[in-house]
Structure 1
């Protein structure tokens, strides 16, 4: 659902850019509470994983494909504030390096694919987790439903933006019906990918899943006929094992992202995605503009000058994963470091 330049007029694109900038600012502040030594590197990996899976278009209807949006997955794994940042990093890398999604439309894309999907998915996810039994299956099922709903919600948000600032005169009712219809089907694929990924991480390290942290209930001991909370295990003794386990999860996730982007992406559907199909069928793309990054050496997910299609696409995917994880990890470690400095500042001020 990457919106190209020219679909939305300049004034509305500017407004969405302000909305997106505000969301990123709020995300940076909120991420300070979500990120720690374990989740900061995981957040960079989540951004890279979303980038990789977005290269895997899957068929959803005759002549139409879909791909992961990733807002639900990111929010559930690393938290809603960090989730907005993850998707923003992905969209920025895609727009600059691969000419995927317009640069003047970056605000639209972050608002629709980053903010709306995260807010809708995480809000619904938390509501379901509260009413369902506290089990891993419930968390996975909640992730499925939240991801499913988030995609047509994003399609609805795009339709609303188009209704205000669309550059063509296509009736909004037709746009809404077509967008929500095809993206409901895409939502099923999004839900499956999200549930499988969340379930896989929960099975190994539930403490690394932001949305599953309340699954851990304190151990109870019966003392004098009454149940009391057992004392927590000493943190220093558990830390080395936890760090090793976290590195294993991170390594497995990185290898998976590289394989998906570097190899599996070659077998992705070549059909236009939901927005591209609706735009072509309804005439929304009549005023689409040429991308400013059309001369990028990675234009359209291929390495310019490499004639072998499989090799070109694979190299572009690997480069994309590497750049995204590098930029993402740098951002999240900076947020984490600033949080630590802010915590230490009051203590230093009170020290005689």
Structure 2
């Protein structure tokens, strides 16, 4: 999912960088209005958890592996704006210290995993939770939202690579979506378990309740 340097055309990575910068700036402005000093540690804890969880790979198929993306988890618990800041921080640290993703591709990686993934997850979870107002419905909403977030990020990465002329769309799209459809199942299962545990811990049993961070978590 992390796009390295050299895979994107200049126009693509510059455009993605501009969009990501705008989204991050909006997230900073939005969260500044709702976060209090006592709530900031919740973002730090979530960032640390996602960073650590991404270091643990689970087998998928054919000798490949996947890891937690975390966009859905952060968006559902803390809201999409806070999730964007959390994932952006994680991606920057991974790029600088673990060379996971390239510097020129940082904007695209942020756009895919810190903007698109959290908002797709948030919208999907909110929609399905409102349609099926039950414990089982909420669980299904969280799982589907997590799976959709992974697929949306994979789709965006595929389009960026294809439009850059690096790999033809007919090759990169089925490959990316095929593997990430499996990875998304792992994402969904992990997110359901963690959200269920944290929701009981924080007392956030109803989708309409605000998150502990004061944002629009579900």
User: Aligned pair 1:184/2:185, yes or no?
Assistant: no
Contact 1:144/1:195 (<8 A) preserved: yes
Could you list the per-position Cα deviations for residues 193-242 of structure 1 after superposition, in whole angstroms to 9, with x for gaps in the alignment?
A: 111110001122134x8xx46259xxxxxxxxxxxxxxxxxxxxxxxxxx
Q: Distance in 2 between the 1:141 and 1:203 partners?
A: 17
Contact 1:128/1:142 (<8 A) preserved: yes
2:19 matched to which residue of 1?
A: 19
CA RMSD after TM alignment: 2.0
2:116 matched to which residue of 1?
A: 116
Contact 1:143/1:195 (<8 A) preserved: yes
1:161 matched to which residue of 2?
A: 160
Could you list the per-position Cα deviations for residues 125-152 of structure 1 after superposition, in whole angstroms to 9, with x for gaps in the alignment?
A: 11011112254x4433311110011111
Query: How do 1:105-254 and structure 2 match up within 5 A?
Result: 105-135=105-135, 137-166=136-165, 168=166, 170-207=167-204, 212=206, 214=208
Paired residue secondary structure (1:214): coil
Q: Distance in 2 between the 1:153 and 1:71 partners?
A: 11
Deviation at 1:188, TM superposition (A): 0.3
Contact 1:34/1:79 (<8 A) preserved: no
Q: Distance in 1 between the 2:140 and 2:175 partners?
A: 27
Q: TM-score, normalised by structure 1?
A: 0.57
Paired residue secondary structure (2:60): strand
User: Aligned pair 1:104/2:98, yes or no?
Assistant: no
Deviation at 1:38, TM superposition (A): 4.7
Could you list the per-position Cα deviations for residues 240-266 of structure 1 after superposition, in whole angstroms to 9, with x for gaps in the alignment?
A: xxxxxx9xxxxxxxxxxxxxxxxxxxx
Q: Distance in 2 between the 1:163 and 1:78 partners?
A: 33
1:62 matched to which residue of 2?
A: 62
User: Aligned pair 1:74/2:82, yes or no?
Assistant: no
Could you list the per-position Cα deviations for residues 81-105 of structure 1 after superposition, in whole angstroms to 9, with x for gaps in the alignment?
A: 0000000000011111121111111
Q: Distance in 2 between the 1:206 and 1:30 partners?
A: 24
Contact 2:129/2:207 (<8 A) preserved: no
Q: Distance in 1 between the 2:134 and 2:81 partners?
A: 23
Contact 1:140/1:198 (<8 A) preserved: no
Q: Distance in 1 between the 2:94 and 2:179 partners?
A: 23
**Structure 1: runs of 5+ lacking an equivalent:** 217-245, 247-331, 333-352
1:221 matched to which residue of 2?
A: none
- Which 4+ runs in 1 deviate beyond 4 A? none
**Structure 2: runs of 5+ lacking an equivalent:** 214-218
Q: TM-score, normalised by structure 2?
A: 0.90
1:298 matched to which residue of 2?
A: none
Q: Distance in 1 between the 2:178 and 2:89 partners?
A: 28
Deviation at 1:171, TM superposition (A): 2.1
Deviation at 1:31, TM superposition (A): 1.4
Contact 1:39/1:78 (<8 A) preserved: no
Deviation at 1:32, TM superposition (A): 2.8
Paired residue secondary structure (1:61): coil
Give the aligned length: 212
